[in-house]
Every structure is written in C-alpha cells, then in structure tokens.
Amino acid sequence: MLRKHGGPVAVLTVLMLASWMSLVGQGIIGGGGGGSGSGTITNGAANDIPCYSDTNEVGPCQTGALTHPADNTLQFNDVTITFANGVFTIQDATPTTGVTQLIVKAGAGQGGTPMQEWQNSSGGVIASTRGSTWTYSGGTIGVQFVNSGTTFAYLYNGTGSITKTSGSYDFVYLQQTFAPTSGTATYTDLVSAATINQTGGANGITRGLYVNPNLTAAADWRSIDLANVTNSHFAINTGTGKVSFGGPVNLKSNTTTFSATPEFDGGAGNIIHIELEGEVTSSTIINLVDGRLYTFRICTDGTGSYTFAWPTNVKGAMTVGTDPDSCSVQDFVSDGTNLWARSLGVINQPE
C-alpha cells in the first residue's frame, strides 16, 4: 500500500497492482498484447472505483479517478504507476506536505516467509527481505542507511564465503559525519554495553570484542589497525582498566637524518635513532606526548670521536660515547614538556 500523509490522501493497494497486471494481460492497458493508448478507465463516487483481482472480480476502492494516461502507465488520483523498459516506478505527485510511504502488509499466516523476493531469470532467489534485514545467497545485509543521496549497505552475519583475488573489500563499512558547533554532544561508531553478572562458581571469559582469525597464509594481518590518530588524541584509551599483552610489543622506531643541529620528533616514534657523522652542536625535540616512553639510540660512524649536545629539555641525560661504530642508549619518560631519564644508559656498545 502506498500511503500519503499530511495532504490529500492517495492509497494504492497491492490489489490494484494485481488489477493492472490483469488489465495488461487482457490487452486493456498498453504493454500487453492488444489495445494501447490512453484514456480514463472509470470514474466513480466515493468508495466506488472498481478494483480488479486476477479473477476479474470487482470491489469498491478509494474514491477518485483511475486513468490510463499513456502506454505502460496507470494513474489513480496523484499516484502514478509506470512499467517500461524493465523499470517499475510508483510516484506520488501530491505536493510536498506530509510524507510518502510504501507499505506492504503481511497476512496473518506470513510467518517466516520473506515478504519480498528478487529472482533471476531462472527463478533463483537473488535477494529477499523480512523485517529489518535483507537476505541473499551469501548472508544477511543490514538495513540500508541513506544520507545525502548515498546508500551504504554491507554484509554482516554472513553464512557464505567471499573470495576476492585482487582489489579491496570492506566487510562492514561505516561512514558518518559528526559536526557539532556547540554543547557537549558525543559520537560513537560502535557501542558494546552488555551487563555482565557472573556469580557463584561462574568463571568464563567475557569479551567486548573477539577477533579469532584462521590465518593460513596472511602476509600482513592486523587484528586492529588504527590510522589517522594524531599525537593529541588517544589511539586506545583504557581508562582505569589494565592492559595485558600475550606476545611481544613492537615500538615504532624513527631515524633522524644527521645534521649538526638535528630536530627530533617525539610524535614519530618511541625509539629515536640518529647516526652521527660529525659533531652535534645543539639539538631539539618536538611533539612530546605526556606519559610516553622514549628511547634514544645514538650511534657513530666508522670515524667516531664526536660530541653530542642533548636538547635542553632532556633531564638526566648521559654523556654519549665516542667510540667508532658504536651506539649509546638511554630511556626517558615525557611529561609533555620535558624528557626525564629512566635509566643511567649504556655507551660505546658495538654495532
């Protein structure tokens, strides 16, 4: 049923669709074998417009005019149905007061049978829908979200398999825009807010997110890959929770090109490395992050005997070794402004 609210009411029943198909089949409406052209099928008083079923039985319909203004077109009041070149269109031309809806009501015996079904030319089901999900041969698709004319609908809870030999594929894709100009509005892409109440002898594992891949041949698998998070934001914020790692933790290393006055970038990595090719008369460090741990690894070339001047905001720094082909290493912690030594450091370690 197509229902128009807030203005002149135009109701098109599914029965009328069957009526049109019957009329087409009989050649009354253009598009079937036989009569074509335009004209008025009938005009009647209130609730006296004939409705046709596939057995040509007549019953009362909504008041108004049911017309055939052109080939492949049926019009009832402000609602036009067109079927041409494989495209089926329903349009409610009532002015823009109120809304337009397409309502399909199931009978009492509908049960779990899909209310809509799309088939290929051989009768195979391509897609079907029931309730708020769309089902097709590879799994289930969530409700489509339409924004600014773009539709996003992606697979979830898939029961089939997806095979791609090239290109890229997003299994679940969320694209939103959040742009408040005032107030304390918040935005979250995905919320898990389960209530966990394990009592007595219950000791099972509970999870907010569980990733369990079967890595048979993954060149570069990343269970969680965070990108475009700048130094002033958290990639992961645990609050007061604990962090446990079952394997090694890799810290990013950043090599600074040698100069007599190098600038180190605290936002580019936790391990800061430089290969000395001469004297460093002064140095600076930028983009320090409060609470972040840093390690300086300062090495010398085959000549050695170079002095190194630390940035002025590095506190407790050691004197760097001067042996050729050796490295000096020391750990620090940042308060966002300064670096504070966490170890005495080691010098002249052979490369």
Buried (b) or exposed (e) across 141-150, using 16+ Cβ within 10 A?
Answer: beeeeeeeee
Between CA 279 and CA 17 the distance in angstroms is 87
Residues 87 and 153 in one domain: no
Going by C-alpha positions, the residue among 153, 109, 146, 115 that lies closest to residue 131 is 115
Q: Give the chain's domain count.
A: 3
Let me know if residue 117 belongs to a domain.
no
Q: What pLDDT sits at residue 62?
A: 53
Q: Which residues contact 115 (CB under 8 A, 6 or more apart)?
A: 104, 106, 129, 130
Q: Which residue has the tokens 């135009």?
A: 10
What are the pLDDT digits (tens) for 21-68? 444 444 444 444 444 455 544 444 444 445 544 444 445 555 566 677
Query: Domain check: are 6 and 95 in the same one?
Result: yes
- 270 and 334 housed in the same domain: yes
Q: Among 52-56, 70-74, 118-122, 280-284, which stretch is predicted with the lowest mean pLDDT?
A: 52-56
Closest CA to 295 of 260, 333, 258: 333
Residues 263 and 346 both lie in one domain: yes
CA-only gyration radius of the chain, Å: 35
6 and 98: one domain? yes
Instruction: Find the mean pLDDT for residues 206-221.
Output: 86
* Segment holding 134, helix H or strand E: strand 133-136
DSSP element (H, E) containing 343:
none
**CA dihedral angle for residue 46, residue 49, residue 54, residue 57, rounded to 10 degrees:** 80
Say if CB 289 and CB 336 are below 8 A apart: yes
Q: Based on the fold, state whether residues 77 and 128 are members of the same structural domain.
A: no
**343 shares a domain with 259:** yes
Whether residues 23 and 94 share a domain: the answer is: yes
186 domain-assigned: no
Quick one: pLDDT at residue 92? Answer: 77
Residue 275 lies in a domain: yes
122 versus 171: the higher-pLDDT residue is 122
What's the whole-number mean pLDDT along residues 281-308? 95
Q: How many residues does this entry show for the chain?
A: 351
Spatial CB neighbours of 54, under 8 Å, sequence gap ≥ 6: 18, 21, 22
| pLDDT > 50? residue 73 | yes
Question: What is d(CA 35, CA 42) in angstroms, rounded to the nearest whole number?
Answer: 16
| Nearest of 231, 343, 244 to residue 290 by alpha carbon | 231
CA 165 to centroid of chain Cα atoms: 22
Q: Is residue 181 part of a domain?
A: no
pLDDT confidence bin for 165, thresholds 50/70/90? confident
Domain that residue 22 falls in: 2-102
pLDDT tens for each residue of 103-138:
777 778 777 677 777 777 888 877 666 544 555 545
Indicate the Cα dihedral angle 315, 321, 322, 328, nearest 10°. -90
| Residue 308 DSSP symbol | B
Cβ–Cβ under 8 Å, residues 16 and 26: no
Does 140 have pLDDT greater than 60?
A: no
Residue 257, in any domain of the structure: yes
Residues 151 and 59 in one domain: no
Q: What is the widest separation between alpha-carbon atoms in the chain?
A: 107
Are 31 and 98 found together in one domain? Answer: yes
Q: Considering only residues 173 and 157, tell me which one the structure prediction assigns the higher pLDDT.
A: 173
Can you tell me the distance from the alpha carbon of 310 to that of 280, in angstroms, rounded to the nearest whole number?
Answer: 9
Q: Please indicate, yes or no, whether residues 127 and 95 belong to a single structural domain of this protein.
A: no
Average pLDDT, the chain: 75
Q: What is the pLDDT of residues 230-241, one digit of tens each?
A: 777 888 888 788
Q: Report the Cα–Cα distance between both ends of the chain, in Å, rounded.
A: 79
Structure tokens, 157: 């809870």
Please give the Cα distance from 106 to 14 (Å, whole number). 11
Going edge to edge, which strands form the sheet with 11-12?
11-12, 2-5, 99-102
Q: Has residue 206 been placed in a domain?
A: no
Residue 131 lies in a domain: yes
Domain identity same for 95 and 8: yes
Tell whether the model's pLDDT for residue 84 goes beyond 50.
yes
Cα dihedral sign, 39-44-46-52:
negative
Q: Is 285 exposed, middle or buried (0-12, 13-18, 19+ CB in 10 A)?
A: buried
Q: Is residue 202 part of a domain?
A: no
